[in-house]
């Protein structure tokens, strides 16, 4: 190493005495420069300059003297070459950038509240069984959603349609999204058209309530042709099943559900009807003999960490002469009931809650709570149809 400074001089060593690039790391032995070797403290000022004090040590006060770190603003086009862990402030994007294998923006982590909150692997889940508010703070949050409307009630014959099923992703800012979970639909008494389910929504995303099941129209014993087709299922997220006799099923809403089955029965014993549509398929028609139609299948979603069916249709009711009522669709659909003689329809399984079976007393099976299932049809103009299932809204995001 060349001699530095002015030999024999008593003047302090200055930067002018040291040629550029002369002192190398290899020239300084580890731990050789100690506080005792320094005439004054070395401190780093808030402006980034190196200053001196008087006690011969590098002070912590000199290293940290302000509650912030100032990075030099740099435009995107002039971004420095990076190494892992490096930072710079991008003045074009107004963002701090970090280098991993490339420069990427450091973003704040948004949080959310509302509903019942649970955690599954990689996700936080917010479940709304009733209406509420989903609130986001701290930035943008991309979420997945499942919006299930209330199911339609069973009618005087046909099964109720499942509530509308909508799923997808949406990005929400620091704002609130009003959540409405569709409520259950009460049964209609003897020989009425089933009530439609109520809508569910997540912000502007709306699922339509399921259509009520069709009723019974007939005059014993002739059942003239001029009354046929007057007992249709109602339109909805999924349509209600056609009632007795020869009546169409209600129409489903595109992208949310399917149509109810069509009743083709034209005889007065046994009496049969059609099943309501489900989120995963159309309701079944009766077979023109002893069997009423089953409710349409629900649709699968695993948004809450468990693969479940949602919004199955209600089974059609039946009456007399060893008739067989329709089963509820998977995803909480209620089973159709029978009257006089026959077999009740089983409730739909595989959902958050199972649908009820049709009773032997003419009561249609109630749909499972918070499944959006359709209620089962009554025993053809006797007692009442089953309740439609209440809706649900589920939101999740990665953590």
Q: pLDDT tens digits, residue range 210-229?
A: 999 999 876 444 444 555 55
Q: Is the peptide bond before 320 cis (omega within 30 degrees of 0)?
A: no
pTM (2 d.p.) = 0.75
CA distance 284 to 330: 13
Cα dihedral angle (155, 355, 374, 258), rounded to 10 degrees?
Answer: -130
| Percent of the chain whose predicted confidence (pLDDT) is above 70 | 81
Q: What angle do CA 36, 39, 45 make, to 5 degrees?
A: 105
pLDDT in tens, the chain (399 residues): 555 555 555 666 666 777 777 777 677 777 676 666 655 555 545 454 555 555 544 454 444 445 667 788 889 888 888 888 888 888 888 888 888 888 888 776 889 999 999 999 999 999 999 999 999 998 889 999 999 999 999 999 999 999 999 999 999 988 888 898 887 766 666 678 999 999 999 999 999 999 999 998 764 444 445 555 578 999 999 999 999 878 999 999 999 999 999 999 887 789 999 999 999 999 999 987 899 999 999 999 999 999 999 999 999 999 988 899 999 999 999 999 998 888 999 999 999 999 999 988 889 999 999 999 999 999 888 888 999 999 999 999 999
pLDDT for the residue 221 = 44
CA distance 29 to 235: 87
């Amino acid at each position: 190493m060349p001699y530095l400074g002015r030999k024999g001089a008593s003047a302090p060593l200055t930067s002018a005495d040291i040629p550029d690039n002369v002192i190398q790391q290899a020239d300084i032995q580890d731990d050789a420069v100690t506080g005792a070797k320094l005439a004054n403290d070395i401190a780093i000022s808030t402006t980034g300059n190196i200053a001196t004090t008087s006690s011969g040590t590098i002070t912590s006060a000199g290293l940290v003297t302000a509650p912030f770190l100032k990075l030099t603003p740099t435009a995107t086009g002039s971004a420095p070459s990076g190494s892992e862990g490096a930072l710079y402030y991008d003045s074009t994007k107004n963002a701090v950038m970090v280098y991993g294998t490339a420069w990427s923006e450091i973003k704040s982590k948004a949080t959310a509240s509302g509903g019942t909150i649970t955690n599954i692997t990689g996700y936080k889940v917010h479940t709304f069984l009733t209406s509420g508010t989903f609130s986001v703070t701290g930035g943008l949050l991309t979420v997945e959603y499942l919006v299930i409307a209330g199911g339609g009630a069973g009618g005087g014959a046909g099964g109720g349609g499942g509530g509308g099923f909508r799923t997808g992703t949406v990005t929400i800012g620091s704002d609130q999204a009003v959540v409405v979970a569709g409520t259950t639909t009460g049964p209609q008494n003897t020989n009425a058209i089933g009530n439609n389910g109520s809508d569910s929504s997540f912000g502007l995303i709306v699922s339509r309530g399921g259509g009520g099941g069709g009723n019974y129209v007939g005059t014993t014993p002739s059942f003239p042709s001029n009354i046929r087709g007057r007992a249709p299922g109602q339109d909805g997220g999924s349509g209600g099943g056609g009632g007795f006799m020869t009546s169409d099923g209600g129409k489903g809403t595109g992208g949310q559900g399917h149509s109810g089955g069509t009743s083709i029965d034209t005889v007065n014993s046994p009496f049969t009807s059609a099943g309501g549509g489900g989120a995963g398929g159309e309701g079944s028609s009766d077979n023109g003999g002893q069997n009423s139609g089953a409710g349409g299948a629900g649709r699968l979603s695993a948004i809450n960490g468990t693969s479940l069916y949602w919004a199955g249709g209600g089974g059609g009711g039946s009456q007399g002469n060893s008739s067989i009522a329709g089963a509820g669709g998977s995803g909480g659909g209620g089973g159709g009931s029978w009257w006089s003689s026959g077999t009740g329809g089983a409730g739909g399984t595989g959902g958050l809650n199972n649908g009820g079976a049709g009773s032997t007393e003419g009561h249609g099976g109630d749909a499972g709570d918070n499944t959006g299932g359709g209620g089962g049809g009554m025993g053809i103009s006797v007692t009442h149809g089953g309740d439609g299932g209440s809706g649900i809204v589920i939101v999740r995001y990665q953590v």
